[in-house]
Amino acid sequence: MKMDKQMVYLLVAGIVWVLSFTSCENEIPYNPSLHVPQLVMNALLEAGEEENFVYLSLSGANNISHVDEAVVTLYVNGRAVEVAEELPPIQPFGNAPDTELPEIAKRKKFRLKTRFSPGDCLRLEAVAEGGRYRAEASVVVPQPLDGLRVDTATVMLRYRYDSWKPCRRYLVSIDDRSGELNYYRLDIRRELKIYGRSFVGNDTVDFVKKTSLVNREDVVLTDGRPMTGDEEDNFFLPNMENKFNIFSDRLFAGSSHTLKVYTETLDDFTTSVVHDVKRVEHKAVVRLLSLNEEEYRYLKALNCLDSDDYDTSLMEPVVIPSNVKGGLGFVGCSADVRMELELPEVVFNGYM
């Protein structure tokens, strides 16, 4: 019996030794010079917008590269309805070389003006570099909710490290559709019209849009893990921030929920255009977007990659969904229900 055990141990050790050499011999070396570029197409279309945009680029081993020539065609329910308008490329500031442009600025940008309806089947087809690259993606426009209710108030909110700021609290109430799994995104646009003087002393007006939200107290937007200001300051508590404010109806399926979020009151109205501010007009556009499951998972993956608490050495790799055939990228479409709120005008007795 003792001899049999020794033979088994020796046999196992020999197999491990052989496999160790075999695995080394079967490794496939990665050669970046052999990497074949692919057409990258990205677009997050919105049924409620007058304009939508499509972005094209070429993939590479280390970074993305320009597309010199391309055509993007939109099909709605199987019929070609629009050839997208190509927009001028972003130019570097001043006399800076093109190499100083950020990677995202290298994408070729196209504009669509077709209005979509819920249930439409959309297909984007891109052909680049004289037909050398071809890619397409299809998506169905989801059904929006019937409506939403919004209540606002000015409150004091604790920010980091015991600082308190006046903020505007939004209570956004929605009624979920029953009998189906739904995915949503909350978006609040604050549109400001700032009157004042330019840096050379002339009267001028600047238009500013803000979209940042504080959502740490809402149980749905934090996926069941709301946080206080003290917990947010705790270095040892991971906080995977929901920067896109996406959520599913998992915690309130078929019923109602009131989202609670905050925005800053923006007491500093100085911009790159306006120096001395005289008065500010502003409104808030509250939108609740219905998403397809694929777009929800795409934005959730981007949330993880953009989080300061995502550690590539300790956490599982994030897989970015792609629904582009013949290339890379993602094309999604959402449909929204919205409410516009006219907020009180801010007037200064003297210039700010």
Lowest mean pLDDT among 139-148, 170-179, 268-277: 268-277
Model pLDDT for residues 230-262, shown as the tens digit of each residue: 555 555 555 678 999 999 999 999 999 999 999
Model pLDDT for residues 78-103, shown as the tens digit of each residue: 999 999 999 987 766 555 555 555 66
Which domains can be identified in the chain, with CATH numbers? 35-140 (2.60.40), 149-320+334-347 (no CATH)
From the centroid of its chain, how far is CA 200? 38
pTM: 0.80
Q: Percent of the chain, pLDDT > 70? A: 74
Q: Tokens representing 309?
A: 């608490």
Residue 107 pLDDT exceeds 60: yes
SS3 call for 106: helix
From the list 131, 118, 127, 141, the residue with the least C-alpha distance to 54 is: 127
> Mean pLDDT of all residues in the chain?
82
From the list 71, 69, 249, the residue with the least C-alpha distance to 177 is: 249
Q: Tokens representing 164?
A: 């308190």
**What is residue 225's predicted lDDT score, i.e. its pLDDT?**
86
Residue 113 pLDDT exceeds 80: yes
Q: Which residues contact 258 (CB under 8 A, 6 or more apart)?
A: 171, 172, 173, 174
Model pLDDT for residues 143-167, shown as the tens digit of each residue: 999 999 999 998 988 876 667 888 8
CA separation for the pair 296, 304 (Å, rounded): 13
Measured in degrees and rounded to the nearest 5, phi and psi for residue 260 equal -120, 115
SS3 call for 286: strand
**301, 317 Cβ separation under 8 angstroms:** no
Q: Which residues contact 293 (CB under 8 A, 6 or more apart)?
A: 181, 183
**What is residue 94's predicted lDDT score, i.e. its pLDDT?**
55
**CA pseudo-torsion sign 266, 272, 273, 278:** positive
Question: Regarding predicted confidence, which is higher, 228 or 50?
Answer: 50
Residue 1 pLDDT exceeds 60: no
Residue 280 pLDDT exceeds 60: yes
